[in-house]
Structure formats: C-alpha cells, structure tokens
C-alpha cells in the first residue's frame, strides 16, 4: 500500500510500504477512506516530538471501513464504517476504568499515553491502518453521517469539548473567552453552547479566523493585536472578567492572557500544547480563587458528540475547507501548513 512516511525532521514521502497485518487478537485493519492533518503533525515534522522515529507512518485522525478482524473482536464487523479515535483505549487498565484512556497503560510500549497512532505506531495517513484494541478505539458510524462530518470526531471536537468546555466547568449563563480560533478553538466555540454559555468571545490575531469564529457560534470577537483587547473583553462582562477563559494556542503569552481575563472564582482551562515553560502569576491568582486545568484529550465524549452530529445539532462538516486525494497528500500538507494564507482549517484527504 501507499502511506505518508516520516523520515526525520522536514522529511515526509508518500511511498510504498508493506500492508499492515493483524498482530494481536484485539486488532482490526481499517481501509482509510478519509484522513486529515493536525497541527501536531506539523510539530512532528519540525522534529518537536522525538518519540516519532524515521519510518513512522503519520496521522491520528480518520474515517474508514473495516477490512479484517482480529480473533477476539466480536462487536465490530468487516464492512463497518468507523471513526478512528486519536486515542487508543484498552478498556481494562486502571486509567481506562477511570475514564482517562489518554493515559492508557496497556498501549504498545506501555508508555502511559493513549495517543499512539502516528506517534508510537503507524498511523492513518495511509491506505490501510492497524488499530489495536479496536473495540475501545473505533466508533461505528451511523447511516447519513458523511466522512467529512465525522472526521473532526477523531480529535479536535472531543479535545475542544473535554479539555476546554468540560474542564473549564462551563455552566448555564457563563461568559466564556476562547483564546485562539484555530480548529481546536473553533471546536471549543462550537461546543460551549452545549453547557449553556451565554456569551462566547473569540480572541485571535487573524481577522479571517475571527470571522469564521462567528459562524461557529461566537457571540463576540476581539483582535488581540492591539493594546485594548483586555478592556474590550472586560467591557463585555460586568468589568470583573469572564467566568471561563480557555487557552487554545499553546504559547506562554496566550496562557498569561487567559489569567488576565478571568474573574474571581473563574476557571482557566489550558488546551494548547506548550513547548516552553510558562510563567504562572500565583501571587496574583491565589486571592482570586482561580482554578486552572490542563489535559490531554481522552476522546471519551466522541459517542455523545457523534449523536449530536447525526442529529444535525453540530455542523462539523464546516471545518473542512480543502479537499485532496491521497496521492496529493504532500500538497495537502503545504496548504495546511500555510493556513494564514490559504485560510485552511481542516483538509479532507480521501482515497
Ligand atoms: P492552530 O495553530 O491552527 O490555531 C491557533 C490559533 O491561535 C490561530 O488561529 C492563530 O491565529 C491564533 N494565535 C496565535 N498566536 C496568538 C496570539 N498571540 N494571540 C491570539 N491568538 C493567537 O492550532 P489548533 O490546531 O487549533 O490547536 C490549538 C492548540 O491545541 C495547539 O497548541 C495544539 O497542539 C493543541 N491541542 C491540544 C490537545 C490536547 O489534548 N490538549 C489536542 C489537540 C491539540
Ligand atoms: Zn487502558
């Protein structure tokens, strides 16, 4: 088969590789019908994720059709259309029992990290992929849900909902600020209404992303390029700050911004992946009773989100801005990598 193979920083090739085979009885093989690229794949290509080694097939998102079952798989069948979750879950370790498969202990390499596809084992940017612990890691697609609508359920929608909205403890009436309106921030914005946010303020430097944020459910937008962003946001609350501030960028300054917008008693939920240490002004925050949360997506809310997508309550297909065939995946990377110019959000790459 063909697959996108990582060959060290800056190097990726769509090339011939051996077809994946069943290794463990709980595995299945999925023919990938549609896959996509995540910001994390760009981090890998920069060499920021050293656990990814030369020869690894990239990708941890996708929708496909089962072609082969391991002998212990009884709840899935050949021909089932499935969402491939970015997190693989054994279902039986202590973390899976706690509902935190993001730390599943039973993964290959026993790493204690549930994200293994396109990281520790070969991923979804390929014609076929082996999915371990398939019954805990795949979600059957109901009729009528398109590949493009389902694609965001592998990673970004559960990430925005679990690590942003749910960790941020959004409740009815809350004013929520979302810093960063990339795919993940937009997923936060799209799902903040599920818990009754009254106002969702999108904050970004890019006016195109802010305009998109409005179409994903933001009530207000603020460009943080100028001096007045903090005053503008505070003016939208009663002057005390927002109830929940969600960081969805992953740089030190945006985490600080979140702590500068939060009202006493509020919650700062960090979603962004940080590569550098971040200053924490505890000397100012303690007296405000501020809670700070972090997290790696577990994707345990994917079945719930899928029900909402199937009922047309979440229009997730809106994330897809560009379409490519698998043979053109290198062009898809180029388009996605220049998102500020190309206005790309999610690229759908189909067989
Ligand atoms: P992205 O880079 O596509 O989007 C980031 C957005 O932030 C862009 O719209 C950009 O214009 C904006 N931005 C950049 N600097 C800014 C600044 N100083 N002020 C305001 N806005 C600024 O990223 P994404 O794919 O949406 O992902 C967002 C973050 O979430 C990343 O750090 C990603 O690694 C992380 N992530 C976390 C998890 C998790 O489990 N916690 C899972 C997936 C992704
Ligand atoms: Zn587990």
pLDDT of residue 264: 97
Q: 57 to each of 94, 302, 342, 351, how far by Cα in Å?
A: 29, 24, 25, 16
Which overall architecture, per CATH, does domain 2-155+299-350 show? Alpha-Beta Complex (3.90)
104 CB less than 6 Å from ligand 1? no
Whose alpha carbon is nearest atom 2 of ligand 1? Answer: 182
Model confidence, pTM: 0.95
How many CB atoms are located within 10 Å of the residue 291 CB?
15
Task: Kindly state the tokens that stand for 22.
Answer: 């069943």
| Centroid of ligand 2 to alpha carbon of 66 (angstroms) | 22
Three-state DSSP state, 334: helix
CATH topology of domain 157-293: Rossmann fold (3.40.50)
Identify which ligand lies nearest to the alpha carbon of 293.
1
pLDDT of residue 155: 97
Ligand 1 atom nearest to CA at 163:
41
39 CB less than 6 Å from ligand 1? yes
Whose alpha carbon is nearest atom 30 of ligand 1? Answer: 272
Identify which ligand lies nearest to the alpha carbon of 295.
1
Mean pLDDT by 10 residues, the chain (351 residues): 97 98 97 96 90 96 98 98 96 91 77 88 98 96 96 97 98 98 97 97 96 97 96 95 97 97 98 90 96 96 97 96 98 96 96 95
pLDDT of residue 112: 79
| Centroid of ligand 1 to alpha carbon of 314 (angstroms) | 21
pLDDT of residue 48: 82
pLDDT of residue 43: 87
183 CB less than 6 Å from ligand 1? yes
How many CB atoms are located within 10 Å of the residue 234 CB?
16
Q: 264 to each of 243, 260, 279, how far by Cα in Å?
A: 8, 11, 19
Parse the chain into domains and list their residue ranges.
Answer: 2-155+299-350, 157-293
pLDDT of residue 49: 87
């Amino acid at each position: 088969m063909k697959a996108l193979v990582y060959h060290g920083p800056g190097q990726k090739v769509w090339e011939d590789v051996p077809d994946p085979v069943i290794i463990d009885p709980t595995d299945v093989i999925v023919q990938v019908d549609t896959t996509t690229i995540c910001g994390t794949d760009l981090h890998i290509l920069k060499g920021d994720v050293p656990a990814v080694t030369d020869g690894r097939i990239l990708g941890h998102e996708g929708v496909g059709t089962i072609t082969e079952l391991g002998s212990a798989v009884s709840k899935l069948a050949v021909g089932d259309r499935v969402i491939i979750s970015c997190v693989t879950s054994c279902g039986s370790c202590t973390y899976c029992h706690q509902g935190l498969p993001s730390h599943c202990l039973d993964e290959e390499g026993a790493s204690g990290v549930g994200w293994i596809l396109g990281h520790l084992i070969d991923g979804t940017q390929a014609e076929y992929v082996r999915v371990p612990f398939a019954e805990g890691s795949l979600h059957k697609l109901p009729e009528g849900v398109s590949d493009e609508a389902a694609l965001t359920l592998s990673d970004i929608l559960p990430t925005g909902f679990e690590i942003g909205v749910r960790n941020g403890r959004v409740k009815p009436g809350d004013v929520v600020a979302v810093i960063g309106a990339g795919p993940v921030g937009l997923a936060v914005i799209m799902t903040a209404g599920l818990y009754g946010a009254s106002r969702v303020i999108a904050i970004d430097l890019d006016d195109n992303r802010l305009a998109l944020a409005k179409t994903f459910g933001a009530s207000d937008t603020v460009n943080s390029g100028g001096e007045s962003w903090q005053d503008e946001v505070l003016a939208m609350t009663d002057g005390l700050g927002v109830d929940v501030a969600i960081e969805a960028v992953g740089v030190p300054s945006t985490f600080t911004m979140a702590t500068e917008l939060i009202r006493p008693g509020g919650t700062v939920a960090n979603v962004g992946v940080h590569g550098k240490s971040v200053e924490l002004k505890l000397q100012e925050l303690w007296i405000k009773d501020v809670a700070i949360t972090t997290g790696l997506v577990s994707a345990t809310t994917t079945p719930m989100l899928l029900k909402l997508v199937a009922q047309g309550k979440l229009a997730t297909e809106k994330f897809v801005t560009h379409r490519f065939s698998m043979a053109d995946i290198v062009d898809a990377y180029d388009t996605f990598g220049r998102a500020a110019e190309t206005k790309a959000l999610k690229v759908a790459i189909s067989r």
